Every structure is written in C-alpha cells, then in structure tokens.
C-alpha cells in the first residue's frame, strides 16, 4: 500500500513536470535539464495536439510551477518521514506509532494531491478555448476507447494463453 502511495506521488510529480515541459515553447526545456522524456506521462501529449498559443503555454507553465512550488515542502516532509520510518526496525520502541503517523501523513498527502490535481486541471481548462476544450474531450474519449480495446485484448489473450498452457 505504501509503495502505491509513493508511486502515486512520484507519478503526480512527473505529470506536473511533464506539463511544465510541454507548456514551454518549442526548443525550451522549462528548466528540466535535458528533456527527461517529457512526452511519456500524463496530459503532456494532449497539450501538444491542442496548438496552444504562446500566452496559453506561459499560463499553463505558471500554473504548474506554482502548484509544484506550493507542494514541494509537503512532499519533502513526507519523504523524510517515510525515510525515518523505513530506517526503523519492527522491534524498536515507537515503531507502531511511527507507522500510524506515516499512514496518516500519507492519507493527508493523497487528499491534498487529488484536490491539487483537480484545482490545476480546472485552472488549465479555464485557459483553453472552446475549440480546444472540445478537442480535449474528443482525445479523452479516444483514449478511453483505446484503453477499453486494450483491456479486451488482454482478457482474450490471457484466456487463450492460460488454456494453451494447461493443454501442454
């Protein structure tokens, strides 16, 4: 469970950084070093397909940077608390209390992350034109259709591979 929450926080950070990179005008890396595969995660691909204006890119970049800066200290504190807990052994005094405290901190961080993500999405959505919003909705539907096809493909092939392996 802890690994899933940690992974969620990492992916959320990656999505935020991806959106910053995508929001940067072509040829700029938005302060992310050397690219960092900015097109692999989250909503980044969608922004490129929306033909954003320079002003929209700047607004989205500002929204993402503000969000990242706002949450950075909380993520660092949570990371330190997680590290302190992981350095403990189960027979140490206070181990269970540290586990409970970390669980509460992780839950609070998840709540903040979900609310912040919704806030950022709403702010970005407000920057888009009606045409871009419609295009984004179409892209979302297409993505959902591809995901459904993939799930169906996996289910069909999992069934056929399990029946062929039992036949051997």
Q: Are residues 155 and 84 in the same domain?
A: no
Check whether residue 54 and residue 115 sit in a common domain.
yes
Q: Does 75 score more than 50 pLDDT?
A: yes
Per the model's pLDDT, the better-predicted residue between 73 and 22 turns out to be 73
- pTM for the model stands at 0.59
Higher-confidence residue: 33 or 75?
A: 75
Q: Say yes or no: 31 and 109 in one domain.
A: yes
Helix/strand/coil (H/E/C) assignment for every residue in the chain: CHHHHHHHHHHHHHHHHHHHHHHCCCCCCCCCCCCCCCCCCCCHHHHHHCCCCHHHHHHHHHHHHHHHHHHHHHHHHHHHHHHHHHCCCCCCCCHHHHHHHHHHHHHHHHHHHHHHHHHHHHHHHHHCCHHHHHHHHHHHHHHHHHHHHHHHHHHHHHHHHHHHHHHC
Averaged pLDDT score across all residues of the chain: 77
Are 140 and 119 in the same domain?
Answer: no
Confidence of residue 157 (pLDDT cuts 50, 70, 90): confident
Same domain, residue pair 52 and 105? yes
Same domain, yes or no: 91 and 110: yes
**Same domain (yes/no): 136, 146:** yes
What average pLDDT score do residues 117-137 get? 93
Q: Are 27 and 102 contained in the same domain?
A: yes
Query: Which residues span the domain enclosing 32?
Result: 2-128
Average pLDDT over residues 43-66: 83
Per-residue b/e over 108-146, b at no fewer than 16 CB within 10 Å?
A: ebeeebeebeeebeebbeebbeeebeebbeeeeeeeeee
Q: Is the pLDDT of residue 52 over 80?
A: yes
- Between vectors from CA 52 to CA 47 and to CA 55, what angle results, nearest 5°? 125
Answer yes or no: do 38 and 73 share one domain.
yes
Are residues 70 and 116 both part of a single domain? yes
Are residues 140 and 123 located together in one domain of the fold? no
Structurally, how many domains does the chain consist of?
A: 2
Q: Are 99 and 47 members of one domain?
A: yes
The per-residue pLDDT for range 85-107, each reduced to its tens digit, is: 999 999 999 999 999 999 999 99
């Amino acid at each position: 469970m802890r690994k899933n929450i940690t992974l969620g926080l990492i992916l959320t950070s990656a999505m935020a950084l991806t959106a910053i990179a995508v929001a940067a005008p072509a040829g700029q890396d938005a302060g992310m070093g050397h690219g960092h595969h900015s097109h692999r995660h989250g909503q980044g691909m969608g922004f490129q397909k929306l033909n954003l204006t320079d002003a929209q890119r700047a607004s989205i970049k500002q929204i993402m940077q503000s969000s990242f800066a706002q949450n950075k200290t909380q993520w660092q504190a949570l990371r330190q608390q997680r590290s302190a807990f992981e350095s403990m052994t189960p027979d140490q005094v206070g181990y269970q209390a540290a586990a409970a405290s970390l669980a509460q901190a992780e839950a609070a961080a998840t709540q903040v992350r979900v609310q912040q993500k919704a806030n950022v999405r709403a702010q970005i959505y407000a920057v888009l034109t009606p045409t871009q919003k419609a295009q984004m909705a179409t892209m979302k539907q297409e993505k959902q259709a591809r995901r459904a096809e993939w799930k169906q493909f996996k289910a069909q092939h999992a069934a056929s591979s399990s029946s062929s392996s039992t036949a051997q």
